[in-house]
Amino acid sequence: METIKQNSLSMRITGPQVPMGKVRVSGAKNAATRIMAGAMLTDEPIYLLNFPTELIDVQHKARFIKALSGSVSFDKASATARFDCSNLAPQVLEKYDFPIRTTYLLAAGQLLREGKAFIPYPKGCNLGTRKYDLHIMVWQQLGCTVEEKDRFIEITGQLKGGDIHFPLSTVGGTENALLCAVIALGRTRIYNAYVTPEIENLIQLLTLMGARISVNGTSFIEVEGVNYLRGTTISVIPDRIEALTWIIFAAISRGNVLVENIPFDLMEIPLMHLRKSGLDFFSNSNAVWVSPESLPEYGLQPFEVACGSHPGIISDMQPFYVLLALSAVGRSLIVDYRYPERTAYLEQLLRFYPNSINWKPGEIVVNGSTESIAASVTSTDLRGSMALVLAAIVAQGESHVDNVHMAFRGYDRMNDKLAGLGIRTDLNSDL
């Protein structure tokens, strides 16, 4: 798939359509993009298996690595990637058009080589609302100076071990601290770290490369810096959010879908709540099968769930439990402790299900079993965008989802997979 310009993609869908067939879950976006940053820490080749080659965020990060003279190659057919950063060199680029949030991951590999790093502002934003203070704190605690320029952030210095105390548990801060600490001189202690499955995948990669990392309990990490990291091969963990997306899609559409490559060990609680709603799916060691027979005779049951941190239902899964609740018979409650302001997409989703959703920060009340209608909507975020696409597929009539590139940021080969399930969509990138 070609790299798609931001804000240039819409999708037209005529529903209802019922998915039939099988779909394979790709490698996790939130693991793959972090592991790419890990590949920048060595001059030897890194080979990644189960890699989501078509993700927009992956393509933007690959573009950045190539701009610094690194080598990146993807094989879509085998879902593999190869990175060779032996020639990577920090430099100020002519353009910083990299619309990704996790630009902080791109610093460590540059600092390793010349003690300088030039990174785009997160999401391409400039000096407005700063949401990267914790990353600045990480670099400063490890001996670097940080200067916010007009077009980029410049980090300078030799990384040295130190103590990092996060005021709140942070996924991004933990990732950045790990990437910098493994190549810093001396020992680094990371307090109030947030160790997700995707971060465990990153730690697995760094350890295979020769890093010395010790995770104590659930929130304390010690790292002893090393002089050299070697090349290796590793698999990216399957995407638990994508897996849940396809399972719930099959349920709300009354489809007949086999979802393969399910990371069951990372999804015990989310899957338990699906069963409690009455969804009687069949599973083996690798896959979940959802069919019309999986649904209760009198419909899915309403439920109450709380979204927070792993191993529970994470906030990125919230929109899909809202979709499930809209198909249940009765009133459901979805609470989000982690990101209570994750509600922007609900105003758009309400167009498909009028008068069915009420919300306030942290709390969503859904009155289910409402007939959905076609609508024209605009995506507000990655997971919300995918929820809008699925709502359009099951709605009666022709729907339009604008800014659907947001969904492509998190779903590898999304259009191919929908087509493989028999779902017809019309993409327009000439807005």
Catalytic residue among 85, 125, 180, 307: 125
CA-closest candidate to residue 118, choices 141, 87, 139, 133: 139
DSSP helix/strand/coil, 52: coil
Asked whether residue 221 falls in the same domain as residue 288, the answer is: no
Q: Is the pLDDT of residue 413 over 50?
A: yes
CA pair distance 93, 284, nearest whole angstrom: 49
Residue 1 lies in a domain: no
3-state DSSP of 113-181: HHCEEEEECHHHCCCCCCCCHHHHHHHHHCCCEEEECCCEEEEECCCECCEEEEEEEEHHHHHHHHHHH
Convert the pLDDT of each residue in 213-245 to its tens digit.
Answer: 999 988 999 999 999 999 999 999 999 999 999
Please say if 125 is a catalytic residue.
Answer: yes
Asked whether residue 179 falls in the same domain as residue 305, the answer is: no
Q: Is the pLDDT of residue 99 over 90?
A: no
Asked whether residue 395 falls in the same domain as residue 270, the answer is: yes
Residue 369 lies in a domain: yes
Percent of the chain scored above 70 by pLDDT?
Answer: 96
CA pair distance 211, 42, nearest whole angstrom: 11
Q: Is the pLDDT of residue 3 over 50?
A: no
**Degrees, nearest 5: CA angle 84-85-87:** 115
Asked whether residue 374 falls in the same domain as residue 300, the answer is: yes
CA pair distance 286, 154, nearest whole angstrom: 45
Task: Give the pairing of strands 376-378 and 397-402.
Answer: parallel
Asked whether residue 202 falls in the same domain as residue 256, the answer is: no
Task: Give the pairing of strands 220-224 and 212-216.
Answer: antiparallel
Residue 167 lies in a domain: yes
Asked whether residue 164 falls in the same domain as residue 176, the answer is: yes
Asked whether residue 21 falls in the same domain as residue 85, the answer is: no
Number of domains present in the structure of the chain: 2
Whether omega for the bond prior to residue 16 falls within 30 degrees of 0, making it cis, is yes
Residue 224, φ and ψ in degrees, nearest 5: -105, 115
CATH code for the domain of 15 = 3.65.10.10
Count the neighbouring beta carbons within 10 Å of the beta carbon of residue 426.
11
Direct distance between the N- and C-terminal alpha carbons of the chain, in angstroms, rounded to an integer: 18
Give pLDDT, residue 125: 32
Asked whether residue 149 falls in the same domain as residue 249, the answer is: no
pTM of the predicted protein model: 0.93
Give pLDDT, residue 122: 86
Q: State which residues form the domain around 200.
A: 29-235
CA pair distance 336, 317, nearest whole angstrom: 10
CA-closest candidate to residue 104, choices 34, 199, 23, 191: 34
Asked whether residue 244 falls in the same domain as residue 197, the answer is: no
Residue tagged 């069915």 (tokens)? 356
CA-closest candidate to residue 328, choices 299, 356, 358: 299
Q: What is the DSSP letter of 423?
A: -
The torsion region of residue 419 among left (phi > 0), alpha (psi -120 to 50) and beta comes to alpha
CA pair distance 358, 166, nearest whole angstrom: 34
Asked whether residue 302 falls in the same domain as residue 325, the answer is: yes
CA-closest candidate to residue 63, choices 36, 41, 34, 29: 36
Asked whether residue 256 falls in the same domain as residue 396, the answer is: yes
Convert the pLDDT of each residue in 105-118 to its tens digit.
Answer: 999 999 999 999 99
Residue 293, φ and ψ in degrees, nearest 5: -70, -15
Count the neighbouring beta carbons within 10 Å of the beta carbon of residue 63.
14
Convert the pLDDT of each residue in 4-23 to its tens digit.
Answer: 454 569 999 999 999 999 99
Domain C-terminal end among 188, 214, 235: 235
CB 334 within 8 A of CB 305: yes
Percent of the chain scored above 90 by pLDDT?
Answer: 89
CB 224 within 8 A of CB 162: no
Asked whether residue 21 falls in the same domain as residue 43, the answer is: no
